[in-house]
Structure 1
Amino acid sequence: MNEVNNREVLIWLNSIGVSNVTVNKLLRYFENISDIWKVSTDEILSLKGIRSSVKDKIISKRKESVLENILIKIKKNDINVMTVFDEDYPNRLRYIYNNPAVLYYKGSFSEVDKLSIGIVGSRKATSYGKWVSGKFSNELSELGITIISGMAKGIDTEAHKGALKGSGRTIAVLGSGLDNIYPKNNKKLYDRICECGAVVSEFPLGTEPYASNFPQRNRIISGLSLGILVIEATEKSGSLITVEHAIEQGKEVFAIPGNINSIFSRGTNYLIKDGAKIVMDIEDILEEIDEFKNISIRSDEKFDYSELSSMEMKIIECIRKEPTHCDNIVYMTGLDISTVSSTLTILELKGIVKELPGRVYILC
């Protein structure tokens, strides 16, 4: 056999389905993991603490053609690979439990990603939850903080979009191989993240988005982040698994409070009850994490309201803090429905407000 290095052996083991736990055992057995490519079949069969099915897999797949096909597939898909043997492997991941031996990625990592926050929440997010996710990720990214999430529907998707809207960086950690974009309708978002950050996975190419993969990938989201913000979550949400990883890793946990009658707020409200920091604005996050304390918040308004009418300003004040239904705007302003509707239309045309489903309005 040709000489195979440690790095290539890690990629090969990962690609044939050998778990990180087993890889760590092999790293204890062999001074150089590449030795597994050279030793006899009997020596592999004699390894203790490793399942027979895994040993058989290693023996049957220990072929130059298998490794060559893996490396060709990676190159063909324009995938970058980093391993725990590489200097550019993220330091925050080196010391977490069950750290990924191999990471596949598109895009790039940057020094600025050291200032990062993970944002997670429900796939079946409410309009309010999506608004909060976009708002917080946008405001944090404008301060140079990288947003890390999982590119799932709902809260994750809005977190990435908010970061991109803020011209910031964002990292998506997938529960599938990088050639299996999930959800598929996030293909454009996937491409944009690759341009302004990175899409990452520990799963080899060809891996489908199996449900069991997502709890596993959550430890990478929390591992790369200085803290985790949970925006909406049910009592048994996968987001709470990310929180468990964050607590294990010694990371700060933040939660957005929600309606006590909403199933999508039960998880976050229980987190707050159990000691997570309640978050009302980004200052609540910045003041809690040491690395963020020197970041100054820019106070400039996004829009120039000086030329708006008093009626327009009345309506803007109603929706400045949160999404508001048209009927509530009518009630709070005392204006008739036709006046409110026509003024909202004008503000939409000016790019100041945006209508959400159900006649709910927010500031852009």
Structure 2
Amino acid sequence: MTSNTLTDREALYCLCHVPGFGGVTIRGLKDTFGTYLSAWRVKPQELQKSGVLTERRAEVFQESRKHESAWRKEFADLAQKNIRVIAECDPDYPTRFLPYKDRPAALFVKGSLPENEVPSVAIVGARACTEYGKEAAGFYAGELANAGVNIISGMAAGVDGYAHRGAIERGKPTYAVLGCGVNVCYPRENYKIFHAMEENGGILSEFVPGTRPVAMNFPMRNRIISALADAVIIIEAREKSGSLITADFALEQGKEVFALPGRANDPLSGGCNRLIQGGANMLLSPSDVLEFLGMKYERKLTIHKFSQNRLAKNENLVYASVDSRPRYLEEIAALCGLSVTECMEALLKLELAGLVFGTGNQYYKKAE
């Protein structure tokens, strides 16, 4: 049963529903009128006099207030759907958001939020990724999660989904930032991931529950992904990929960007290679990211019964060139007669198989 008295939290929920209202606008209204409730109930004359909204936006606002009853009913049903509303004044609002003027006024959450004191890394990339991208996303997410890092992504098809899986398969939490409501599983192919994160990790969005996944929402979503992370990893991206929007936000926010290199003639590596050319960190081993975070990479090796005749030609060449002492990437490539890119791809396969180990700074050795 909904009370006749509108609460400040309900007013915030209503403000989040107004078309075109984001964190900056809602914060401006609250700062001007004192509370979310006062902002929602402000008289048209006072609103016009304040100059907070343009005439057109004020009209949209007035029209939206007709939906108060329906939105209050929605708000009352959130707890039953296990959805929490986290306002920026709440103690569990992510402190990583606080430096940014465009931070959300509220977050809608299923499950939990990443703990502020735990290092976080975002992993994003192409939807139509290759096997190389799938394996890399799962591998890096799993290794970083195992080291105690929160894995953040956007639950999109391709790289995002494989990154979430990499953490889930290790029994570690992972967090998805959606470009739709937190009660909307998009894409449907990720429904198992979606439900797994409700139990171990979380799903969050700045969009009110029920919001459909429309194209304009995803660039907005990307800024939240990067803001939640201490570093951002790009795994496979075309030169005009949406993943590069996340990288741009990360750079604007002062975050460290890592990119997985690929073949020069591979369109799906064009964006990553261009990022590296522009100064992003080349991602060659989980230790690269962990060293940046001030953490040590202690890989928990899985014993694989591999024989050399099961390895592809390049992997055999590389494995034969790796020693029990750390050897530099370019030295390995020279010994194999391969390009650095070909050598890196083979090393990733070997590392996934538990046969070699990256010690950091582009040095590799055989796993003991």
TM-score, normalised via structure 1 length: 0.81
Q: Name the stretch that deviates more: 25-34 or 132-141.
A: 25-34
Instruction: Pick one of 54, 57, 82 that aligns with 1:54.
Output: 57
How far apart are residue 84 of structure 1 and its match?
0.8
Change (3 A) 1:66 1:273: same
Q: Matches of 2:36 and 2:316 in 1, distance apart? A: 69
Correspondence 1:313 to 2:307 = yes
Residue aligning to 1:354: none
Correspondence 1:205 to 2:195 = no
Residue aligning to 1:352: none
Q: Would the aligned equivalents of 1:118 and 1:147 in 2 still touch at CA under 8 Å?
A: yes
Q: Matches of 1:191 and 1:38 in 2, distance apart? A: 38
Instruction: Pick one of 270, 285, 305 that aligns with 2:289.
Output: 285
How far apart are residue 142 of structure 1 and its match?
0.7
How far apart are residue 329 of structure 1 and its match?
6.9
Per the alignment, in what secondary structure is the counterpart of residue 105 of structure 1?
strand
Correspondence 1:79 to 2:89 = no
Per the alignment, in what secondary structure is the counterpart of residue 62 of structure 1?
helix
Q: Matches of 2:297 and 2:181 in 1, distance apart? A: 38
Correspondence 1:8 to 2:2 = no
Q: Would the aligned equivalents of 1:112 and 1:144 in 2 still touch at CA under 8 Å?
A: no
How far apart are residue 2 of structure 1 and its match?
4.8
CA shift digits 1:112-166 (9 cap, x unpaired): 7731100011111011011100111011111111100000011100000001112
Q: Matches of 1:135 and 1:186 in 2, distance apart? A: 18
Aligned pairs (5 A) from 1:146-225: 146-225=150-229
Q: Would the aligned equivalents of 1:113 and 1:146 in 2 still touch at CA under 8 Å?
A: no
CA RMSD of aligned residues (A): 2.6
Consecutive unaligned residues of structure 2, counting only runs of 5 or more, are 320-348, 355-368
Q: Would the aligned equivalents of 2:114 and 2:150 in 1 still touch at CA under 8 Å?
A: no
The residue type equivalent to 2:43 in the other structure is S
Change (3 A) 1:219 1:331: closer
The residue type equivalent to 2:296 in the other structure is S
Consecutive unaligned residues of structure 1, counting only runs of 5 or more, are 319-323, 334-359
Matched length = 321
How far apart are residue 278 of structure 1 and its match?
0.6
Q: Matches of 1:217 and 1:6 in 2, distance apart? A: 26
Per the alignment, in what secondary structure is the counterpart of residue 138 of structure 2?
helix
Q: Matches of 1:97 and 1:315 in 2, distance apart? A: 57
Q: Matches of 1:228 and 1:296 in 2, distance apart? A: 18
Instruction: Pick one of 338, 343, 363 that aligns with 2:353.
Output: 363
How far apart are residue 199 of structure 1 and its match?
0.6
Change (3 A) 1:216 1:236: same
The residue type equivalent to 1:253 in the other structure is V
Q: Matches of 2:103 and 2:318 in 1, distance apart? A: 52
Identity value in percent: 37
